[in-house]
Structure 1
Amino acid sequence: MPAQNEAIFPANRHALYEQHRYSAAIRSGDLVFVSGQVGSRDDGSPEPDFKKQVALAFDNMKAVLQAAGCTTDHIVDVTTFHTDPESQFGDVMEVRNTMFNTAPYPNWTAVGVNWLAGFDFEIKVIARAPAA
């Protein structure tokens, strides 16, 4: 029998989901696959201040996790995308360290990219949902 996938959206669904036709997350069994979250404001536009953009991306990711009944403690895998990793990494790590400050830490892969649709940072995660 095929797995039943459930679309997850945070309470304040921003314009990017509708505009680009994707789900904020998909729950498949006890795994929650969160789509790449960017530092978008409510209207979907990029936050121009980089450090605030990173913090907003993390906040958007946390909102999606919360909608799925998860917290950052349930994250097992993180992938981040950076338009200028060398100059941005300090700010990213500063924000990251406020989110993940207790071991065991999730897996983490950071990828340098040259385009993020007007954004400079994106984070996607996989979490294991707590038992109901």
Structure 2
Amino acid sequence: MRESITLPGHPEKWPCFSDVVKAKGTLVFLAGQVGWDDHGVWAEGFEKQAELALQNMERALAAAGATIDDVVKVVIFVADARNGDADYRTGNNFNEIYSRFFKRNFPVRTRVQTGMLARDCLVEIDVIAVISDD
């Protein structure tokens, strides 16, 4: 179970993440999900890698008995910060792709630019989810 919490007096910056999430249950940790297919072939370009990494995230969550609605924290590692800085309203950027997967009651999110990703990797997504103890 997760609950997004709005901070008093805090303006909403982006419509695709929460500042605070309260969760109760069993923790599920995913290794960083990247934009390659089942054969280890990288998708071409940032947008395709981001979409495939998010699809791989959903598959990994399902393997643990979780769904995207159970995600409480997401860390996005990008090779080039400009891929995440674009205005989410214009499309063809990370926030627009991310919003196709996370639609409501958003998890907290952090984005980090790093030059230390695997060769040819443009984005990696690290996730923590919480599933019910029932």
| TM-score > 0.5 by shorter chain | yes
> Does residue 101 of structure 1 match 2:97?
no
Number of matched residues? 102
Amino acid paired to 1:61: M
Deviation at 1:53, TM superposition (A): 0.7
In structure 1, what is the equivalent of residue 116 of structure 2?
115
Please identify runs of 4+ aligned residues in structure 1 that moved more than 2 A: none
> What CA distance in whole angstroms lies between the structure 1 residues aligned with 2:121 and 2:42?
6
In structure 2, what is the equivalent of residue 125 of structure 1?
127
In structure 2, what is the equivalent of residue 37 of structure 1?
33
> What CA distance in whole angstroms lies between the structure 2 residues aligned with 1:115 and 1:39?
16
> Does residue 55 of structure 1 match 2:66?
no
| Greater relative contact order structure (CA < 8 Å, 6+ sep) | 2
Deviations 1:4-43 (A, max 9, x none): xxxxxxxxxxxxxxxxxxxxxxxxx810000000001111
Deviation at 1:130, TM superposition (A): 2.5
Question: What value does the CA root-mean-square deviation take over the aligned residues?
Answer: 1.3
Deviation at 1:100, TM superposition (A): 1.2
* Residues 75-86 of structure 1 aligned to structure 2 (within 5 Å): 75-86=71-82
Whose helix proportion is higher, 1 or 2?
A: 1
Give the alignment partner of residue 64 of structure 1, picking from 60, 65, 68. 60
> What CA distance in whole angstroms lies between the structure 1 residues aligned with 2:47 and 2:29?
25
Deviations 1:62-110 (A, max 9, x none): 0000011111100011101001112x114111111111111x2101010
SS state of the match for residue 37, structure 1? strand
Gaps (5+ residues) in structure 2? 1-24, 87-92
Between the two proteins, what is the percent identity of the paired residues?
A: 38
In structure 2, what is the equivalent of residue 4 of structure 1?
none
Gaps (5+ residues) in structure 1? 1-28
